[in-house]
Amino acid sequence: MSDLKIRNLKKVFEGLEIIKGVNLDINDHEFVVFVGPSGCGKSTLLRLIAGLEEVTSGSIYLDDREITDLAPAKRDLAMVFQSYALYPHKTVRKNMSFALDLAGVDKAVIDQKVNDAARILELDHLLDRKPKALSGGQRQRVAIGRAIVRQPKVFLFDEPLSNLDAALRVQMRLELARLHQELNATMIYVTHDQVEAMTLADKVVVLNGGRIEQVGSPLELYHYPVNQFVAGFIGTPKMAFLKARVKGASPHSVSLTLECGPEYTLELDGSQLNVGEEVTLGVRPEHIQVTQSADSPFKVHLDVAEHLGADTYCYVKASTGETLTVRAPGDFEPGLGDQVGLQPDLARCHLFDGQGVAIPKPGAPAQAA
Amino acid sequence: MLSLKQARQLQTVLLGLLAWGVALLIFFPIFWMVLTSFKTEIDAFSTPPQLFFSPTLENYLQIDSRSDYFHFAWNSVVVSFGSTLFGMLLAVPAAYSMAFFESKRTKSTLLWMLSTKMLPPVGVLVPIYLLFKDSGLLDTKVGLVIIYTLINLPIMVWMIYTYFKEIPKDILEAARLDGATATQEITQVLLPISKGGLASTVLLSLILSWNEAFWSLNLTASSAAPLTALVASYSSPEGLFWAKLSAVSTLACAPILIFGWLSQKQLVRGLSFGAVK
C-alpha cells in the first residue's frame, strides 16, 4: 500500500504564497503527473512532499501516517532530480548503494539490490564507472536506479527528462512507462511538457498559480476541461478561443453569435447563461475543417501554413483579428492570404462563461474539487 | 602584412616573453637572496654587486652556532599547521551554511568578514597585546595559533564558500533523501567533491601563516617565536649583516618553497577547480 493524501497544503516563501491550499489524493500504483506553466508551483509541491521544503500549513499523509514534518529520509520516498544529482566522486555502484550503505543494510543484500536495479535499467556494464564517464541518458538511468534500490513507497520525479535531447526524451519516456508497469509503484512526476503528462499519466494534476485547476485522466482533461486555462494548456497546438455573445439559452441548447460573424447552436445546458452575456467558444485545431469560403458563414484568411507531412497546420486570422489554428490533411496546399471558410465540429466545441469556467458538457465526469 | 597564422605565432611569442619577464621579476629577489647567502659579508656589500664569487658556507655555519634553527622551524610548523587545522574546522561549517542555507544577510556577512582584512593590524595591536598579556597567551604557540586562525578565517571561509557555491544543491538534497545526516552530508558528499578546492585553501592558509611576521614579532619573544622572528633577530642594531640575513631568510623560506613546489599541481588544480557535473 502506498497512497498519499495532501490536505490544505500551503507554502509561503518570503511573504509570497506559492502553494495556495492544495488538496489531493494519490492512490496506490498510480502514475500522477503535475503539469503546469513555469512558476505554477508544481516543483515546490513535489519538494514539499519530498520534505526538501518546509510546509507552512496543511498536512501530508502517506498510508494514513502523517509525514508533514518528517525528515526527507524518513518518508519512504525517493526522488529523481532534473540535474540527475549523481555523486560525482562515487562509482555508479556506490551512487546506487549510498542510501543502503547509510542505513547499514547487509552487504550481500545491497549487492543483490544494486545488481537487480542495474539489470532492469541495463546498467550492468557501467557499474564501476564514475558519472563523468556516462552519457546523459545513462546518468538519468543511474539516478532512477538510485531510487529503485531503495524500494520506496513513492517515486518522485522532478522534470527528469528535460536535460535530454528530443530523441532520447521519447525513448526514456517509454522506458519510464515500462518501469512503472514493472515496478507497479506509485509515482509522482513533475513536468511542464504536456505531451509527457498525457503519455505517462494515469492522473494529471494541472496546476496554475499555486492552485490545482483540474485533476483527471489525460483524456478527461482533453475532452472535458473545466476551465479555459486547462483547455488552453492541454492539447497541441493550442485550442483557439473566440469571443461570442449568447443569443438564446435553454437547458438543452445555447445559441451564440461569434464576434467574427457566424452563429452556432451548441447542445449544452445553458440554464446558467443569460441572453446577451459574453462567452468564449473554444475550438481545437483538430475539430475544425477548412471548406470553400462561399459555402461557409465563418470566413478567415490564411496566415501561415506549417507542413508536417502527415498534417498541415494552418494559422488563420478571423475578421476580428482573432487567430485560430486548424489541422488540415497533409496534402492540403493552401494559398497564403486566401480567404477560406471554416466548419467547426460543434459537438466537440467548448463553451466558457465570462469567468472562464466551462459550461459542463454532457457526459463530463463530476469534479471532486 | 602578417598572415593570420604569423600574427598568432607572434602573439604567442610576445605573451611568452611577457610571462617570462614577470616571472623573472618576481623570482629575482629570491634568487639574489640565495646568492647573497653564499657570499662573505664583504662580497655581499661590494659595489658593483658581484654575480661571480667564491661561494662559502660560513654564514650557515654561523647561524647554526648562534641560534637554534630547528626550534624556530618547529614553532613555524606547529603554528601554521595548527592554525590551518583550526581554521578549516571553523571555515568548512561556516561556508557550508552560507553556501547552502543562504539568508538575506549572507552576502553582507561575507563582506563584513572580508572587511576585517582591510583594517591595518597595527590598529588593534595594543588591545590584542593587552588581551594576550592578561590571558597569559604572550609568547605561546597557542596564542599564535589563535591569532593566525582569526586572521586567515575570512579568506578561508570566502574561498571555501566559492567552491561550495559551484556544487549543485541537488546533490546534497539527494544525499538528504538517501538518509544522510548533516555530518554525513558534509563528510561523505560535500568534502570529497570539493577536495581540490579545500586542498588549495589549506595550502594558502599554510603559506600565509608561515609568512606572517607582524603578529609573530609583536606577540612572541623566544619560546614560541617562529622563523619570521628568527629572521628579524638578524637585523641587529650594530648594522646589517646582509650575507647572514640572506642565509637565515633562505632557511626560513626553504621549507614553504619546497612544500609549495611539491604541491603546485594540486594548487593549480584547486584554483582552477570547477564544473561538477
How many distinct structural domains can be found in chain B? 2
Q: For residue B216, tell me if it sits in a domain.
A: yes
How many distinct structural domains can be found in chain A? 2
Enumerate the residues of chain A whose CB falls inside 8 A of the CB of residue B178: 73, 98-99, 102, 146, 150
- Name the phi and psi angles at A36, rounded to 5: 170, 170
pLDDT of residue B72: 93
Do B33 and B74 reside in the same domain of the chain? no
pLDDT of residue B271: 60
Asked if residue A13 lies in contact with residue A168, where contact means CB atoms within 8 angstroms, the answer is: no
Q: For residue B51, tell me if it sits in a domain.
A: no
Q: pLDDT per residue over A47-64, tens digit each?
A: 999 999 999 999 999 998
pLDDT of residue B234: 85
Q: Which residue has the higher pLDDT, A302 or A335?
A: A302
Do A158 and A242 reside in the same domain of the chain? no
Q: Is the pLDDT of residue B266 over 90?
A: no
pLDDT of residue B196: 83
Determine the Cα–Cα distance for residues B88 and B141; give it in Å rounded to an integer: 18
pLDDT of residue B73: 93
Q: For residue A365, tell me if it sits in a domain.
A: no
Which amino acid is residue B4, in one-letter code?
L
Mean pLDDT value across chain A: 91
Nearest to B198 by CA among B82, B80, B93: B93
Q: Which residue has the higher pLDDT, A266 or A334?
A: A266
Do A221 and A74 reside in the same domain of the chain? yes
- A82, A84, A102: residue with CB nearest B184: A102
Return the C-alpha torsion angle A223, A224, A226, A229, nearest 10.
Answer: 0
Mean pLDDT value across chain B: 89
C-alpha cell read off for B151: 586572521
Q: For residue A122, tell me if it sits in a domain.
A: yes
pLDDT of residue B276: 41
What average pLDDT score do residues A343-350 get? Answer: 92
Q: Helices A92-103 and A136-148 sit at what angle, rounded to 10 degrees? A: 20
Do A198 and A320 reside in the same domain of the chain? no
pLDDT of residue B269: 66
The C-alpha of A67 sits at a distance from chain B's nearest C-alpha, in angstroms, of 14
- A51, A85, A102: residue with CB nearest B180: A102
Do A106 and A203 reside in the same domain of the chain? yes
ipTM above 0.85, yes or no: no
pLDDT tier at A296 (50, 70, 90 boundaries)?
Answer: confident
Do A286 and A213 reside in the same domain of the chain? no
Q: Which of A231, A263, A295 is the last residue of a domain?
A: A231
- Domain range for B162: 58-271
Inter-chain CB proximity A102 and B179 less than 8 Å: yes
Which strand (E) or helix (H) includes residue A32?
Answer: strand A31-35
Do A195 and A88 reside in the same domain of the chain? yes
pLDDT of residue B40: 87
C-alpha cell read off for A148: 529503485
Do A258 and A186 reside in the same domain of the chain? no
Q: For residue A368, tell me if it sits in a domain.
A: no
Nearest to B30 by CA among B155, B206, B211: B211
pLDDT of residue B236: 72
Percent of chain A with pLDDT over 70: 99
Inter-chain CB proximity A88 and B170 less than 8 Å: no
Q: Is A12 helix (H, G, I), strand (E, B) or coil?
A: strand
Q: Is the pLDDT of residue B10 over 50?
A: yes
Q: Is A216 helix (H, G, I), strand (E, B) or coil?
A: strand
Q: Is the pLDDT of residue B270 over 90?
A: no
Q: For residue A334, tell me if it sits in a domain.
A: yes
What average pLDDT score do residues A149-160 get? Answer: 93
pLDDT of residue A367: 61
Do B79 and B24 reside in the same domain of the chain? no
What average pLDDT score do residues B59-63 get? Answer: 88
- A72, A83, A132: residue with CB nearest B177: A72
pLDDT of residue A208: 94
pLDDT tier at B165 (50, 70, 90 boundaries)?
Answer: very high
- Domain range for A97: 4-231
Asked if residue A48 lies in contact with residue A18, where contact means CB atoms within 8 angstroms, the answer is: no
CA A232 to chain CA centroid, nearest Å: 12
Q: Domain containing B153 — which CATH number? A: 1.10.3720.10
Do B233 and B160 reside in the same domain of the chain? yes
Do B158 and B207 reside in the same domain of the chain? yes
Q: For residue A227, tell me if it sits in a domain.
A: yes
What average pLDDT score do residues A281-295 get? Answer: 87
Q: For residue B276, tell me if it sits in a domain.
A: no
* Reduced 3-state DSSP string for chain B: CCCHHHHHHHHHHHHHHHHHHHHHHHHHHHHHHHHHHCCCHHHHHCCCCCCCCCCCCHHHHHHHHHCCHHHHHHHHHHHHHHHHHHHHHHHHHHHHHHHHCCCCCHHHHHHHHHHHHHCCHHHHHHHHHHHHHHCCCCCCHHHHHHHHHHHHHHHHHHHHHHHHHCCCHHHHHHHHHCCCCHHHHHHHHHHHHCHHHHHHHHHHHHHHHHHCCHHHHHHCCCCCCCHHHHHHHCCCCCCCCHHHHHHHHHHHHHHHHHHHHHCHHHHHHHHCCCCCC
Q: How many pairs of residues across A and B have Cβ atoms under 8 Å apart? A: 61
Ranges B47-51, B64-68, B229-233: which has the least confidence: B47-51
Q: Which residue has the higher pLDDT, B262 or A223?
A: A223
Q: For residue A362, tell me if it sits in a domain.
A: no
Do A216 and A246 reside in the same domain of the chain? no
Ranges A31-35, B20-24, B238-242: which has the least confidence: B238-242
Ranges A216-230, A290-304, B146-160, B191-205: which has the least confidence: A290-304
Do A216 and A289 reside in the same domain of the chain? no
Asked if residue A92 lies in contact with residue A128, where contact means CB atoms within 8 angstroms, the answer is: yes
- Cα–Cα distance list, B79 to A250, B75, B91, B150 (Å): 92, 6, 17, 13
The C-alpha of B114 sits at a distance from chain A's nearest C-alpha, in angstroms, of 28
Q: Is the pLDDT of residue B274 over 60?
A: no
What average pLDDT score do residues B36-49 get? Answer: 84
Do B197 and B112 reside in the same domain of the chain? yes
What average pLDDT score do residues B52-71 get? Answer: 87
Inter-chain CB proximity B177 and A98 less than 8 Å: no
Q: For residue A367, tell me if it sits in a domain.
A: no
Return the C-alpha torsion angle A192, A198, A200, A202, nearest 10.
Answer: 120
Q: For residue B160, tell me if it sits in a domain.
A: yes
Do B211 and B172 reside in the same domain of the chain? yes
Q: Is A147 helix (H, G, I), strand (E, B) or coil?
A: helix
pLDDT of residue B151: 92
pLDDT of residue A369: 43
Q: For residue B264, tell me if it sits in a domain.
A: yes
Q: Is the pLDDT of residue B275 over 60?
A: no
Do A151 and A118 reside in the same domain of the chain? yes
Do B66 and B27 reside in the same domain of the chain? no
What average pLDDT score do residues B144-156 get? Answer: 94
Q: Is B103 on the interface with A (CB under 8 A)?
A: no
Q: pLDDT per residue over B225-254, tens digit each?
A: 999 998 888 877 666 788 888 999 999 999
Residue bearing cell 646589517 = B240
